[in-house]
Structure 1
Amino acid sequence: MRYLDYDPHDIVYITEIRQALDRSILDNYIQDKDENYFASRNLSVPILIWWTPFTYDTGSYIQCGAEQTRCFISNIRKYRDNKDFSAFLFYGTDFHLYDLPLPRYQHEQWALLHEESPKNNYAFSFESIMSMFNHTATFKRHSDVPLTTQWLASIDDLLDQTYVIDIKEKTNLQTIENLAPIIYIQSDCFTPSDRDLYIKELMKYIPIDSYGSCLHNKDLPENLRIPVETMEHDDILKLVGKYKFALAFENAVCTDYITEKFWRPLRVGTIPIVYGSDQFQDFLPDNHSAISILDFPTPADLARYIHELNQNDTLYDSYRQFKLTRTISNDTLLAQTMSKRTWGIHNDHIRGNFISKLECHVCERVHKTRQDPTLKYQAKFDDYGCPSPTTFDSQGLKLERSGDWYRQYEFSRCQVNVFEELIEQGNYSFTEKELYDAAAKRFSPSFRRDEFLK
């Protein structure tokens, strides 16, 4: 619920964006105002600014919590000069070291929203960058607003029987419809996890139906070929439900980074084969409902086990007990997280979304720090802090400190180091090119050293 800046009595419910937005909305709004308009406005509440244009909101009031705490929030940077300005909010993908509100003043608070993969911005993999934030909403369980379950609407979705197919019928479908034991649907083929290298090796030992553009060998119906629009389409869920196993390989490896690839097979009664978060088991419905590739020395070993499950109905269904009995273990982190979550997905008109949740979280904290100036909030490295990317060799064995994505990660490290030195020198006006060129001088010699070429 938001109140328009020009009429606090008009209530606006912002639930979704139905058209493409761009910066012109903000630019046009600013052009109509005189030079001192934003600095001189008396808004009487703390001002929060989305430094990275995200909601394209020119200005509105938010009302949060049981005490109806109020803040004014806008995507217009000029409000920084207002006496009521309190905090910046940043969307991680659009966070750039060469475009930050520097110097940073002591009274300003910074908040990070980044539910996306580490591939979108490696800056948050380095402690010095995470230390710049006071508040966080990321996929990490330790974040202030944890978004680990951002792709799961409810526990009921996991217990729902709509798409569940009996094991004997799944076996028959492999013959009748010429289905492989495993389904893979992915069209992002160049990723930090280098998942396709492993899957390509796995395909040598067991059939896999690959419907996306990555390792493609089977066609989706034409109405399902736009990934973002159809990832939770009813027909996709039915298709995944026909298979005994689904590859749930994330595009990057980081603790708690879990997406629809993980939840979708669990929803439809198919066993996920997982590669991504090293602690994904904490978010399973029970302790025996998914398979980790890290439990097997090689893809060939994994394939042997999948063949065994494919031929043993009792062993197979042991992975689906939560689904068949409609029971979530009470001690799972999944159950605890979902019971505490106060936001929804799919444009939830009642609970809102994690964007508004972060905005209110910051708003409430800002009010607390105004009442008690000694109160400090500090983000932790583990609020994001992902490891460097790894890859696989031609036999599907994991390789450290190797591959194109690892080089990108290390180049980001060089940029962060240059950034730190510039700030220490009091240089706040460097350009993107200056940062890039300085980092490149450090990066190239580093990657001529033997340790980076193993």
Structure 2
Amino acid sequence: KTKMAAQFVSHCGSISRRDRLVKQVQQFIQVDVFGSCGTMECPRGSPRCARMLTDEYRFYFAFENSLCRDYVTEKLYNAMESHIIPVVFGGVDYSKFVPPHSVIDVQQFGTVEELVDYLKFLADNPEEYVKYFWWKEHYRITGSQPFCELCRKLHDIGTREKSQHYRDIKAWWFDGACQARAKIEF
């Protein structure tokens, strides 16, 4: 692998300010941005793009457009199917969604410089870099449709799970779900 990081972005100017974060990271390392928000092109879903990521890049930036506690971009799971380390930025507790030591969470760093130093460390130390792929021998990525699971539970009369009632489902679903500021300073 000869390149540091890639990102595929189709929506510019996000609430999370991920574009600003990437620009700050680009002051220290190369991050190639593909799609309508960047200068690089590769057709969405192209097998050539997936091969390129695996063959050429060490890290894939899977940055959310919003910092919400219950949302993980599908781009994270797409990256996990390749031999590339996902660098994630969102409002979720990633330990609930991915195996331990399988992603790098931007929010675990205090500054952009600390993040970049760690990425450089991994790039310069292959034995440390490959430790991020240990999980591939023990876990697998499966497709999921969360609303299908919800429907199954709603229709399963004999469910053993405790039921709950919410007077205002909109408030339950949205209130406090997203944050305005990131933990990392940029």
Same fold by TM (over 0.5)? yes
Query: In the aligned structure 1, how far is the partner of 2:127 from the partner of 2:152?
Result: 49
**Counterpart of 1:268 in 2: which secondary structure?**
coil
**Counterpart of 2:68 in 1: which secondary structure?**
coil
> Would you say the 8 A contact 2:67–2:182 is kept in 1?
no
1:327 equivalent in alignment to 2:138: yes
Q: Which amino acid is 2:178 matched to?
A: P
Question: Of the candidates 23, 45, 64, which is equivalent to residue 200 of structure 1?
Answer: 23
Query: In the aligned structure 1, how far is the partner of 2:121 from the partner of 2:173?
Result: 39
Q: Which amino acid is 2:138 matched to?
A: T
Per-residue CA deviations over 1:231-265 (Å, capped at 9, x if unaligned) read x4422321221211000101111113112221122
Residue aligning to 2:39:
217
**Counterpart of 1:244 in 2: which secondary structure?**
strand
> Would you say the 8 A contact 1:255–1:280 is kept in 2?
no
Query: In the aligned structure 1, how far is the partner of 2:77 from the partner of 2:58?
Result: 15
Seen in structure 2, the aligned counterparts of structure 1 residues 308 and 357 have a Cα distance that, compared at 3 Å, is: closer
Map residues 277-426 of structure 1 onto 2, 5 A cutoff. 277-285=91-99, 287-323=100-136, 326-328=137-139, 355=147, 358-359=150-151, 361-363=153-155, 377-379=164-166, 383-385=173-175, 386-390=177-181, 397=185
Map residues 224-235 of structure 1 onto 2, 5 A cutoff. 224=43, 230=44, 232-235=45-48
- Where does structure 2 lack aligned partners over 5 or more consecutive residues? none
Q: TM (normalized to structure 2)?
A: 0.80
> Would you say the 8 A contact 1:194–1:391 is kept in 2?
no
- Where does structure 1 lack aligned partners over 5 or more consecutive residues? 1-169, 175-179, 225-229, 329-333, 339-343, 346-352, 369-375, 399-454
> Would you say the 8 A contact 2:15–2:66 is kept in 1?
yes
Seen in structure 2, the aligned counterparts of structure 1 residues 305 and 354 have a Cα distance that, compared at 3 Å, is: closer
Query: In the aligned structure 2, how far is the partner of 1:258 from the partner of 1:208?
Result: 21
Map residues 18-37 of structure 1 onto 2, 5 A cutoff. none
Sequence identity (%): 25
Map residues 120-269 of structure 1 onto 2, 5 A cutoff. 170=1, 174=2, 180-214=3-37, 216-220=38-42, 224=43, 230=44, 232-242=45-55, 243-269=57-83
Q: Which amino acid is 2:185 matched to?
A: L
Query: In the aligned structure 2, how far is the partner of 1:233 from the partner of 1:256?
Result: 28
Per-residue CA deviations over 1:356-396 (Å, capped at 9, x if unaligned) read 5545544556xx9xxxxxxx84147665441342369xxx7
Query: In the aligned structure 2, how far is the partner of 1:269 from the partner of 1:212?
Result: 21
Per-residue CA deviations over 1:68-114 (Å, capped at 9, x if unaligned) read xxxxxxxxxxxxxxxxxxxxxxxxxxxxxxxxxxxxxxxxxxxxxxx
Structure ID, larger Rg = 1
**1:296 CA displacement:** 1.6
Per-residue CA deviations over 1:408-434 (Å, capped at 9, x if unaligned) read xxxxxxxxxxxxxxxxxxxxxxxxxxx
> Would you say the 8 A contact 1:192–1:391 is kept in 2?
no
Seen in structure 2, the aligned counterparts of structure 1 residues 317 and 355 have a Cα distance that, compared at 3 Å, is: closer
**Counterpart of 1:272 in 2: which secondary structure?**
strand
Seen in structure 2, the aligned counterparts of structure 1 residues 293 and 356 have a Cα distance that, compared at 3 Å, is: closer
**Counterpart of 1:209 in 2: which secondary structure?**
strand
Seen in structure 2, the aligned counterparts of structure 1 residues 359 and 240 have a Cα distance that, compared at 3 Å, is: same
Relative contact order (C-alpha < 8 Å, sep 6+): which is higher? 2
**1:307 CA displacement:** 1.0
> Would you say the 8 A contact 1:192–1:390 is kept in 2?
no
Matched pairs, number: 179
> Would you say the 8 A contact 1:250–1:261 is kept in 2?
no
